[in-house]
Structure 1
């Protein structure tokens, strides 16, 4: 069985606006600080823009698609793992595959669009039991107050070596 070596993880999100929720901003800062302790992890933040009472993320999807393509075209990875179900990534995934990269997608079934699943080389369906031992029991879930559009677009990218190849292999 082939083994993989994880060489890079990219975490994508938006920087929360402290004026739109001090506690949420502070919680995010703690989380981002904790991410700094993870080897080979890079945080890439888009911005949030307010449209009246609604806050939307800007720039995250284009950062993800650009990185998938840039690193594929630079032959920087053999396998990319995209943790997202957003069908908007289908064309980037197919283009990366056309350049020789293998693309795997991991997503919850409720968020996985068929366009993305069909364009991926492999799809891993995530389920709550899969994460049972990763989630803490004291985690508090707060309902969305309608002021922030949350659509599950927090993305994780990781880069990994495969089959002892001499390339710098990365996996999203």
Structure 2
């Protein structure tokens, strides 16, 4: 019997901002795999950083670590872009914005789908900008799509394509970080 190959792609910025508190990625991955009925074939974590040497920081290293010590995720980091603009009061303000993460996620999920690397995609994001990519993998490539995120943080544009929406709030006690 053929087992489904499932990948999990995480928008790191989304999971940093969306939950009501801190959670444990290892517990989250275990919970999603339980709901999935089998282990993930691969897991990816994409995020941006001001300092590319951050790839060596303890959190990113831990994400790469295999169970039972870590969630064993492939980590891809993109540079942060600094925007400078002048306010109406004349002051200059700098703001840091993500650069490349959405394109990286889109490229990854389409590339892996066209290579036949998965049957089901589990995506943790709330960004409706992924709608065209999700539409393509669902309608043209006939991939199953699950969305895993928090209530009131996921675009309806993505929800309407999901074969299943996993509301992480419903699993909070299993995934929350105990300090």
Q: What TM-score results when the alignment is normalised by the length of structure 2?
A: 0.64
Richer in helix (by share): 2
Superposed, which structure 2 residues align to 1:97-136 within 5 Å? Answer: 97=138, 98-127=140-169, 130-136=171-177
> Matched residue pairs, number?
129
- Give how far 1:89 is off: 0.9
Instruction: Name stretches of at least 5 consecutive residues in structure 1 with no aligned partner.
Output: 19-24, 139-172
> Which structure carries more relative contact order (alpha carbon 8 Å, separation 6+)?
1
- Give how far 1:106 is off: 0.9
In structure 2, the residue matched to 1:31 is: 59
Whole-angstrom CA distance in 2 between matches of 1:5 and 1:29: 26
Instruction: Name stretches of at least 5 consecutive residues in structure 2 with no aligned partner.
Output: 4-36, 85-93
Q: What TM-score results when the alignment is normalised by the length of structure 1?
A: 0.67
Greater shift, 34-43 or 7-16, is seen at 34-43
Whole-angstrom CA distance in 1 between matches of 2:173 and 2:130: 28
In structure 2, the residue matched to 1:60 is: 101
Superposed, which structure 2 residues align to 1:1-172 within 5 Å? Answer: 3-17=37-51, 29-38=57-66, 40-52=72-84, 53-97=94-138, 98-127=140-169, 130-138=171-179
Whole-angstrom CA distance in 1 between matches of 2:43 and 2:60: 14
- C-alpha RMSD over aligned residues: 2.3
- Give how far 1:46 is off: 1.2
